[in-house]
Amino acid sequence: MTELFGLDGRTAVVTGGSRGIGRMIAGGLLDAGCRVIVSARKADQLAAAAEELSALGPCEAVQADLATPEGCQALANEVARRWESLDILVNNAGASWGARLDEFPVDGWNKVMDTNVRGPFFLTQKLLDLLRAAARPEAPARVINVASVDGLKVPDMETYSYSASKAGIIHLTRHLAKRLAREHITVNAIAPGPFDSKMMAFILDDPDARAELAGMVPLGRIGQPDDMAGAAVYLASRAGSYLTGATVAVGGGIGFAD
């Protein structure tokens, strides 16, 4: 089983890795034996997170704003300066926006689409040479895109650009998977349900609202770090090497068993 799920010596980049889902994934990859670079926009929070994650394994921090093509290129350049190849890319950095339909602003649309769809596409593009250098038929390189259950079902909240962006990244995952399969690079997505994160804090920090939301999850609870880490390690390891173009919903059954 260690060989099936182990990641000793592998290299991974996790965007949005300073907190929430990204930090959960980074921790899981480190615990499985990866060397990890985490990136985020806020340098101070990123440095603190990387220092704490280093207790699990080699973890470095690279500040980057992935909402712009220039930011994607800068991160790719820095990764290439440090490593000759890249085994695993986790496109997790994301943004959300909520507003009433009649008042939804252009800025709220563009910010979310730029971060959640354009960023993952162009970062993957800029890191392709490093992924190709790591890819082998028996051990593919991996791209893991973080989507959301809101990209699989219609949410109740008026987060129009967010749900559209997550549906978009799910389809982009399939398109890239088809194109990159011939190069021994798998592309899959994880669609989280409710987890403790800054994006969910407005609900989960209220005990009553938290309990109500947990009651709406078929499995009756909020996701824990190990739930997310386990899904990422599966997709990144030998265990998930024959899977591409798939979206793994990690939401306690939301959208499938409710």
Tell whether the torsion through CA atoms of 47, 17, 80 and 82 is positive or negative. Answer: positive
How many angstroms separate the CA atoms of 195 and 16, rounded? 15
How many angstroms separate the CA atoms of 39 and 28, rounded? 16
Nearest of 241, 194, 237, 242 to residue 214 by alpha carbon:
194
SS3 state at 108: helix
**Letter for the amino acid at 174?**
R
Cβ contacts of residue 18 below 8 Å, gap of 6+?
Answer: 38, 40, 42, 45, 46, 48, 49, 50, 61
Tell whether the torsion through CA atoms of 47, 75, 32 and 143 is positive or negative. Answer: positive
- Is 242 noted as a catalytic residue in this protein? no
Positions marked catalytic:
162
